[in-house]
Amino acid sequence: MANPDIFSTNIVGPIHSRRLGISLGVNLLPRDGKVCSFDCLYCECGWNADHRGGHLPDADEVMHELETKLQTMHAAGEALDVITFAGNGEPTLHPDFPRVIERTLQLRDQYYPEVKVSVLSNATQIGKEAVRAALLRVDNNILKIDGAFDETVHLIDQPADSHYSVRQVIEWMKTFQGQLIVQTMFVRGEHNGQRVDNTTPQEVAAWCDLMREVRPHQIMVYSLDRPTPEPLLTKVSKEEMTQLVAPLLAEGFNIQIV
Ligand code: SF4
């Protein structure tokens, strides 16, 4: 049975996003499957194993669809805040991601020059120069890091690469010289009998130290909004997240708490 949370189109919306405003989504992943280098316990698309198969879409076709949509919206005088790359997995895994970003920026300049282009990425591919260069061209490159310890990230995000290393990702993030938004999901619960919690004092103190190293121009923290593939997860309240990030707020970090 098709999962209702899998996007069945490559252009999605526009929808109102609590994090981004009026957003037109670009799903550079299959319309009938999920392709991701993570398998997060909280993924709104569901488990990777439940959505195997599906082909990555042709980049030119997606860009044609995007142009048609922008043309139509522009002609109708519809408002738009942001074009967002998200969808059924990790957008930077598409081999034409850099070319797609270039074309998207052209279309944005043509139809909605004031609109931002955002990419939601799990940061696993930012060690590739072409991906890094493309991300540096967009207005908001929003890169995920869900914990300061390898063990925590392997538990919450379940990277396909068993050698995934937080230290490596942080070193890559530092090369962005602040031109990035770091996004962190705070979550608690249980998975396969193991305690899940990236909100303990030890976790948060180490995560704060990583933010001081990377110095992103913005940090976005959020918690659960919808049902999750792992049902034993619980939401962290906005009030509690505000307390968790208080040390960084006091140091002047720009933090969006959703
Ligand atoms: S990185 Fe994003 S798309 Fe991939 S599994 Fe995690 S939440 Fe889902």
Of the candidates 143, 125, 151, the one whose C-alpha atom is nearest the C-alpha of residue 206 is 151
- The phi and psi torsions of 100 (rounded to 5 degrees) equal -65, -40
Q: 33 CB under 6 A from ligand 1? A: no
pLDDT of residue 2: 39
Instruction: Give the length of the chain.
Output: 258
256 and 221 in contact (C-beta within 8 Å)? yes
Distance, CA 187 to ligand 1 centroid (Å)? 14
pLDDT of residue 20: 75
* Chain centre distance of CA 197: 20
Distance, CA 38 to ligand 1 centroid (Å)? 6
pLDDT of residue 6: 79
pLDDT of residue 7: 84
* Chain centre distance of CA 119: 7
- Distance, in Å, from the CA atom of 234 to the CA atom of 236, rounded to the nearest integer, reads 7
The predicted model scores a pTM of 0.94
| pLDDT tens for each residue of 93-134 | 999 999 999 999 999 999 999 999 999 999 999 999 999 999
166 and 145 in contact (C-beta within 8 Å)? yes
- Distance, in Å, from the CA atom of 133 to the CA atom of 182, rounded to the nearest integer, reads 17
- Distance, in Å, from the CA atom of 85 to the CA atom of 38, rounded to the nearest integer, reads 16
The DSSP annotation for 210-258 comes to HHHHH--SEEEEE---S--SSTTEEEPPHHHHHHHTHHHHHTT--EEE-
- Distance, in Å, from the CA atom of 86 to the CA atom of 45, rounded to the nearest integer, reads 11
| Residues of the chain under the 50 pLDDT cut | 1-4
Q: Which residues pair with 235 in a beta bridge?
A: 187
pLDDT of residue 51: 83
Count of CB atoms situated within 10 Å of the CB of 251: 10
Q: 230 CB under 6 A from ligand 1? A: no
Q: 5 CB under 6 A from ligand 1? A: no
Distance, CA 28 to ligand 1 centroid (Å)? 13
Q: 81 CB under 6 A from ligand 1? A: no
- Ligand 1 atom nearest the C-alpha of 158 is 5
- Distance, in Å, from the CA atom of 25 to the CA atom of 44, rounded to the nearest integer, reads 15
pLDDT of residue 163: 95
Ligand 1 site-directed mutation target among 155, 157, 187, 230, most atoms within 8 Å of CB:
157
Q: 222 CB under 6 A from ligand 1? A: no
pLDDT of residue 66: 97
- Distance, in Å, from the CA atom of 99 to the CA atom of 107, rounded to the nearest integer, reads 13
pLDDT of residue 23: 94
- Distance, in Å, from the CA atom of 184 to the CA atom of 82, rounded to the nearest integer, reads 20
pLDDT of residue 111: 97
Nearest CA to ligand 1 atom 6: 40
